[in-house]
Structure formats: C-alpha cells, structure tokens
Amino acid sequence: MYPEHDPTSLADRVQQRLTHPHYRRWRTHVEAVGGCSKPVHLTGHRTITDAATGTVLDRHSGTVFTPCGNRRESVCPACSDRYAADAFHLLRSGMSGGKTIPETVADKPRVFVTVTAPGFGPVHTRRTTTGGKVIPCRCGEHHNPADTRLGTAIDPERYDYRGAVLWQYHAGALWHRLIITIRRTLAATAGIRVKDLPQHVRLSYAKVAEYQKRGLVHFHAVFRLDGPDGPHDSAPAWADSRTLTRAINTAVAATELHRTLTLDGQPERHTFRFGTQLDTRAIRPAHAHRIEDDGGDITDRALAGYIAKYAIKGTSTSEVPDRPIRSERHIDLVPVHPHHKRMITTAWELGGNDDVGLLRKWAHMFGFRGHFLTKSQRYSLTFQHLRGTRRAWQQHQALDDLGASEDTVLVINHWRHTGNGYASEAERELAEAIYQRKRQHRQHRHEQEKHP
C-alpha cells in the first residue's frame, strides 16, 4: 500500500488514489471482500492443477484480502451485514423451516421471550404515557431521546456497580440455569420425571444478547417445542404454546444461581436472578410484515429480522474498545460515558481476584463474557453450515469458469498473514463507498423481489 504524508485535503488524496496505476488491482481486492473496513492481508500463492494431466489451469501469487469477520456494525459494516444475514437465516429456519429444516416447525409451539437484568440503582429514564406525553425522570428532568445520560446512574456513588458487573459476569451461567428450570417445569406440568422428558418433548431455542443503555445485557430468545427427534418430530398434544409460556414465566421467576466468591480475601455468598421485567409472546406464521398484531403475537419473518439486528450491535449508548483492556491507564483513555467507564474500572478491579479473574479479559464488555448469539443443538442449522455452503458455491463458480470440477483438480494454497486494514484515510473512504454501493444494490434487488 501507499502511505500518505502530504497535507492535501482528503478529497485530493482520494483523487490521487483513484488515479494511481495500481488502483484497479487494489479495488478488485476490496470488491472481493465487499468493502470490508479492516481486511486481513494474506501473501502467498495458489495453484489449480488438472489432477489427471498435471496441466496448470490457474495460478495466482501476491497479496489477497479476506474479510475481518467482525460482527459489530461499529467496527465493520460490511462484515456485520453478512453476519446479520446469516443470523437471520439461522433464526428464521428454526421458526418457519428452510435450509435443511422442515417447514412443519412453523406449526409447532413457539414463543418469543425477553428477559432482563435486575436493577442495581436508579438510572435516568425517558418514559412516555400512552398518549405520548413524556414522564419526568426520577431526577426531575424531561430527558431528550438523544440525552447521553439515559440509562446511566442518577447517583453514581450509590449505584451498585460491583453487583452489576458480577451479575453480568454470571449472566451466561444464569441463562443455562434457566433452561434447566424450564425443562423441569415442563416435566412437572406433564407429570413425568425430568430424566424422561427427552423421550416425550425437546426444548429448542435460539437467543441473542443485547446491551441496554445502562450497560447490562438482556436476552431475546425464541423457544420451540419439538418431539424427541427434534425439528422433524411433532411435539405431544399437551405441549402447546400456552404450556410453554407458563413454563417460561414460572421458570424465570424461580431461577437462581448461587455462587460463593472469595473477593478481597473474604468469602461472599451471591445469588443471581433475572429482573422482574419479562415479555413472553406467541409466534404466529408470517402472513404480514408487521412485527405484532392486536393480540401481541409476532410473525416469524419479522421476528427473525428483529432479533438478528441485535447480533451486530455494540453497547448501545457508548461503544467500548474492540479489544480487551490491557492496563488501568488504558481505561483512562477509553472515550465512553463515566457510567460505563465506572463499569469497566469495576470489572478490572474485581478481576484481580482469582474467582473472577477472567473479568479483566472482558472488562471492555462490562464483564459480559458470553456469546451474543447462541442456540440449542437441534434448533436449526449452524453458522458453519451457512458459511460452508457459501464457500462451496463460490468454489464451484470459480472452477466452473475454468471448465473444471472438484473431482478433477488439485488445489495447492500457501498463504501467510502480512497485515490488516488500509494504508490511508483515502483508502478507507473508498472502501466505505464500495460497501455502500453494494449495500444499496442489495436493497434495490430485495425491493424488486418483494414487489416484482
């Protein structure tokens, strides 16, 4: 690449890059990764040879780009778009079938659930009445929707930052405990032993974690009841949406995770629970594009897109570092709201204790160490399957252009990592323009498919 040190304007530097002799080759690399913001540079060679005759069909050497693969929109819009599309198909196939999942899953009991974190102290809020009138915050003000204080502590000195970070650290384990409790509740409802439940019904789910403005995650999840063999098997007659909804409501209220942690040399007993805010709604087959109707039900297609968008979000009010915090000095340099910086600091300090030592690794995520999208084994297909199918299609197209097939060629690859990102702001601007053009083209094509 070609670093720039001249004082000319960005527009001039972009123009210079556009007229550079190697621009077309560089643009081909960027087009191949969809305008990725931070592409990985690989240098080496690839040779495709006819296995029968030894004839070289194609040879390439030099540097190529591969996508960074970051799921967060704030880091790489291009890769987050791809991640969101994969998340949509993963979620949708588990709700209405497709891509190896039978369409009969749309007829099974399905419930959409949102569970939240408990409160750790009063925070700035902006609520409205049914008529749209803004209700004063507990601080006495009427906050603007863009107010950066929303979700942050009204009185930082009395807010339980320690409890908030510890809850976040254990949120994944608390979710696992919830799944166990739901299964036990279903077994009790059916009058069967818990260990016999898999012989009657299987609980499948997919969940996405989303940060609230206060810096704590809540979980959006889709639950489905299958027969013992998974999505291809019907659930028993007693296992309907109402039964599943009651089991979830009961389990959320009853789920507790107990941990004894040695902090600052003293053993402490902690009990972690979900918050009292809980939303459970039945999912109906998609006959409209509305997310919900008057009865509160949600269409499966709209819901898949609704949930998938959370998989690419950061921490809402303030974006945090893309990489782990390395030192206390690093925390001082993080440009976030003081409320969120306090959470990072608390996570770093607590991470000095062996029982929660991983907190320092996840301090930049306010202590949350779980995956943002997870699912049970039988809910639907996997990201690996989706990405493998895409790679296989691309490989088939490339070989087809050479008049060959996988069975008749020998492919030899030798690549090494030689860098990341772009050499200048001008290149980043051009890559962003390439991404935006591709995105607009996809949106236009999607609109044409919806309204031919």
In the chain, the N- to C-terminal Cα span, in Å, equals 43
297 pLDDT exceeds 70?
A: no
Looking at residues 284-288, what average pLDDT do you find?
56
- pLDDT for residue 441: 87
Looking at the chain, the whole-number percentage of residues with pLDDT higher than 70 is 90
**Inter-axis angle of helices 77-96 and 300-308, nearest 10:** 150
315 pLDDT exceeds 60?
A: no
Contact 286, 81 (CB under 8 A): no
- pLDDT for residue 443: 81
294 pLDDT exceeds 60?
A: no
**Inter-axis angle of helices 171-190 and 241-254, nearest 10:** 130
Other CB atoms closer than 10 Å to residue 101's CB: what's the count?
A: 21
Residues in CB range of 100: below 8 A, 6 or more apart: 93, 381, 385
293 pLDDT exceeds 60?
A: no
Predicted structure pTM score: 0.84
Q: Which of 58, 47, 50, 60 is nearest to 409 (CA)?
A: 50
Looking at residues 59-77, what average pLDDT do you find?
88
d(CA 317, CA 120): 18
- pLDDT for residue 452: 57
Contact 7, 407 (CB under 8 A): no
pLDDT by residue (tens digit) across 345-361? 999 999 999 999 999 99
DSSP-assigned letter for residue 382: -
Contact 350, 245 (CB under 8 A): no
Kindly report the average pLDDT of the chain as a whole number.
Answer: 87
- pLDDT for residue 292: 47
16 pLDDT exceeds 90?
A: no
289 pLDDT exceeds 70?
A: no
Contact 270, 259 (CB under 8 A): yes
| 451 compared with 203, residue with greater pLDDT | 203
- pLDDT for residue 317: 39
Contact 110, 242 (CB under 8 A): no
4 pLDDT exceeds 50?
A: no
Which single residue is written with the structure tokens 């009427």? Answer: 142
DSSP-assigned letter for residue 212: -
91 pLDDT exceeds 60?
A: yes
- pLDDT for residue 31: 92
287 pLDDT exceeds 50?
A: no
439 pLDDT exceeds 50?
A: yes
437 pLDDT exceeds 80?
A: yes
CA–centroid distance for 23 within its chain? 34
Calculate ∠ Cα 166-168-170, nearest 5°.
Answer: 75
Contact 353, 367 (CB under 8 A): no
pLDDT by residue (tens digit) across 94-118? 988 888 899 899 889 999 999 999 9
Q: Which of 70, 68, 74, 71 is nearest to 316 (CA)?
A: 74
- pLDDT for residue 366: 94
pLDDT by residue (tens digit) across 161-216? 999 999 999 999 999 999 999 999 999 999 999 999 999 999 999 999 988 889 99
- pLDDT for residue 268: 96
Partnered with residue 269 across adjacent β-strands are 260
Looking at residues 40-63, what average pLDDT do you find?
91
**Inter-axis angle of helices 425-450 and 23-32, nearest 10:** 50
CA–centroid distance for 284 within its chain? 24
Other CB atoms closer than 10 Å to residue 381's CB: what's the count?
A: 18
447 pLDDT exceeds 80?
A: no
